[in-house]
Chains A and B, each alone.
Chain A
Amino acid sequence: MDFSNFNAAEQAHMTKVIEKKQMQDFLRLYSNIVDKCFNTCCNDFTSKALSSKEETCISNCFDKFTKHTERVGARFAEANAETAAGSK
């Protein structure tokens, strides 16, 4: 996305908009991870507390999902850079 034809006031406005969206995106990521890891790890409801097996699972699930998101982000950025370079 190219903001070179935006004046200073517009760029400042866009910066605020982007900051707000980043925060919303972070919150969305949070609830997404909770949902996925709960569904993957918690299938036994004979107890209220998390078992140690479930805790390990949640920890692994969190790590895996964040690494996955990072990897997808990296590939996506590469693909975008290629497309931008190709169309110039």
Chain B
Amino acid sequence: MSFLSGRSAPTSGAVNYDKIDIAVTELDSITDFFNRMVGSCYNKCIGAKFPADGDLSKGESVCIDKCVAKYNEVQKKVGEKLQAKGAAAGGAPGGGSAFGAI
């Protein structure tokens, strides 16, 4: 998922804001993904039930581990399918977003 690997060596001195932009976008994307994962796995494994105590039970801990693994798998699968769809459409991003009609 990293867009930064395999690029050329750093240029000296000046700040390349395009590079920074891409890095910040990627960072935002990973942060968003993580926050959603925390929220979803909380809802699925712990939910809104009255907490008996402040520790995670064994069942909840196991559920969280599995939830994270599945979430990562789903991310990979969806990424693959998006890439396949993009390649099939000739590289252009598909319609269905607000930017497609411009």
Contacts and interface: CB of A to CB of B under 8 A. Distances in A.
Interface in A9-47: 9-10, 13-14, 17-18, 21, 25, 28, 32, 36, 39-41
Interface string B13-30: 111100110011011101
Interface residues of A, number: 38
Contacts, number: 111
Contact of A9 (B8, B15, B24, B49): B15
Interface residues of B, number: 48
Contacts of B46: 64, 68
Contacts of B2: 1-2
Interface string A39-77: 111000000000000000101111111011101110110
Contacts of A75: 64-65, 68-69
Chain A at the B interface: mostly helix, strand, loop or mixed?
helix
A64 B55 contact: yes
B55 A67 contact: yes
Interface in B15-59: 15-16, 19-20, 23-24, 26-28, 30-31, 34-35, 37-39, 41-42, 45-46, 48-56
A1 B10 contact: no
Interface of A: 1-7, 9-10, 13-14, 17-18, 21, 25, 28, 32, 36, 39-41, 57, 59-65, 67-69, 71-73, 75-76, 79
